[in-house]
Amino acid sequence: MMDDDIARMLGDAAARWGEANYELAQRKPRLALAGAFDAAVWSAYAEMGWLALRLPEADGGLAADAAAVGALMEVAGSRLLLEPLLVSAVVGTGLIAAHAPAPLRERLLPQLVAGGVRLAFTGPAPACAWRDGALHGRAEAVLQGDVADGLIVAACDAAGAVVALQYVEVDAPGVRRRAYRLVDGRGAANFEFEGVAGVMLASGDLAARAAETALAETWVALCAEALGCVRALLAATLEYLKLRQQFGRPLGVNQALQHRAVDLLTLQEEILALTEQAQRALALPAPQRRREVAAARAYISRAARRVANEAVQMHGGVGITDELAVSHHFRRLMVNGAVFGDRDAQFDQFLSCAGMAD
């Protein structure tokens, strides 16, 4: 496991790389690529070791903990990285490292670390069933499933509980994929499965626990990404208030705008505190982890959207144009607030864990 200093160094190095290689002007041409996926950038991630974050040191990985993953995901949010770091390098690779049988593990891990294979994770897929030794049904809105080579599917029973965790090649017989773009420029895909026999990673209670842990890790990583978005939005907005002139004076001298800016800075600090709390919560027993992670994710989703809304309003009409990063961050937060369970699902989990649900 990384210590705090190494995690901080990883975040600093990632921030410097992003500043040099992922300004808005450099991001725009990548949006025109198929799936907004730049193979050269993905190879750079491999060279920097980002794709080995979740592997144990014995496998040549970085053994990154939640804080180290968060340091990288914060840069993904601030720089609006388009490549599938979350679904492949963090969640997918982590699941393969922890649960894949030895032959699959030995085949996939070197390719994942080198950038030759990309994964996606469905999250619990109630419309996808495991029966008669095969997958049947569908998984919808799979984030960056459009650029994935392999898919980790969490199949459910009739009650919606995960009963099987399967690894499936996206070009396997019986798999159909429909790819499309999301409003933030990244891609997603809907998958249909007709009697697909993949590789079993876990079944029964073990599958349910593995999927729950992976979903918690996903939510915590998305909290860190939201923090990166919020920091970038506030920095851009405060700079705009200083420079934009109205009636011969900077907008920032308007006391009402100053009060609104202070409110947003307070939200940023709350998001930081809750993100760090959620990262620590991943080490707690499952019931407490579920409650604290769900609470953090629900609050951060709402708070980050408020920051985005205010940033757009303070910029005025130009804030919704593609020429400013503000609109791109707004759309990124919109998408991230909906994937892997929206705010209502997060809040429902919190209430359930707190014993307050009906």
Residue-wise pLDDT for 312-332, tens only, equals 999 998 899 999 999 999 999
Instruction: List all residues 6 or more positions away from 301 whose beta carbon is below 8 Å from its beta carbon.
Output: 226, 336, 337, 342, 343, 346
Can you give the pLDDT at residue 153? Answer: 98
Using the predicted structure, report yes or no on whether residue 144 has a pLDDT greater than 80.
yes
Is domain 119-205 in CATH 2.40.110.10, yes or no? Answer: yes
Can you give the pLDDT at residue 343? Answer: 67
Can you give the pLDDT at residue 19? Answer: 96
Using the predicted structure, report yes or no on whether residue 2 has a pLDDT greater than 70.
no
pLDDT confidence band for 226 (50 / 70 / 90)? very high
Q: Per residue, what are the HEC states of the chain?
A: CCCHHHHHHHHHHHHHHHHHHCCHHHHHHHHCCHHHCCHHHHHHHHHHCHHHCCCCHHHCCCCCCHHHHHHHHHHHHHCCCCCCHHHHHHHHHHHHHHHCCHHHHHHHHHHHHHCCCCEEEEEEEEEEEEECCEEEEEEEEEECHHHCCEEEEEEECCCCCEEEEEEEECCCCCEEEEEEECCCCCEEEEEEEEEECCEEEEEHHHHHHHHHHHHHHHHHHHHHHHHHHHHHHHHHHHHHHHHCEECCEEHHHCHHHHHHHHHHHHHHHHHHHHHHHHHHHCCCCHHHHHHHHHHHHHHHHHHHHHHHHHHHHHHHHHHHCCCCHHHHHHHHHHHHCCCCCCHHHHHHHHHHHCCCCC
pLDDT tens-digit readout, 98-112: 999 999 999 999 999
CATH class of 207-353: mainly alpha
User: Global pTM?
Assistant: 0.94
Read off the pLDDT of each residue in 325-341 and give the average, rounded to a whole number.
Answer: 95
pLDDT confidence band for 357 (50 / 70 / 90)? very low
Can you give the pLDDT at residue 46? Answer: 97
Read off the pLDDT of each residue in 66-82 and give the average, rounded to a whole number.
Answer: 97
* Segments making up each domain of the chain, as ranges: 4-114, 119-205, 207-353
Can you give the pLDDT at residue 348? Answer: 73
Read off the pLDDT of each residue in 305-309 and give the average, rounded to a whole number.
Answer: 97
The Cα–Cα gap between 66 and 88 comes to 16
Can you give the pLDDT at residue 154? Answer: 97
Using the predicted structure, report yes or no on whether residue 169 has a pLDDT greater than 50.
yes
Can you give the pLDDT at residue 1? Answer: 57
pLDDT tens-digit readout, 9-49: 999 999 999 999 999 999 999 999 999 999 999 999 999 99
Read off the pLDDT of each residue in 177-192 and give the average, rounded to a whole number.
Answer: 97
CATH class of 4-114: mainly alpha
Percentage of the residues of the chain whose pLDDT score is greater than 70: 96
pLDDT confidence band for 347 (50 / 70 / 90)? low
Whether 4-114 shares its CATH topology with 207-353 is answered no
Read off the pLDDT of each residue in 177-189 and give the average, rounded to a whole number.
Answer: 97
Can you give the pLDDT at residue 358? Answer: 45
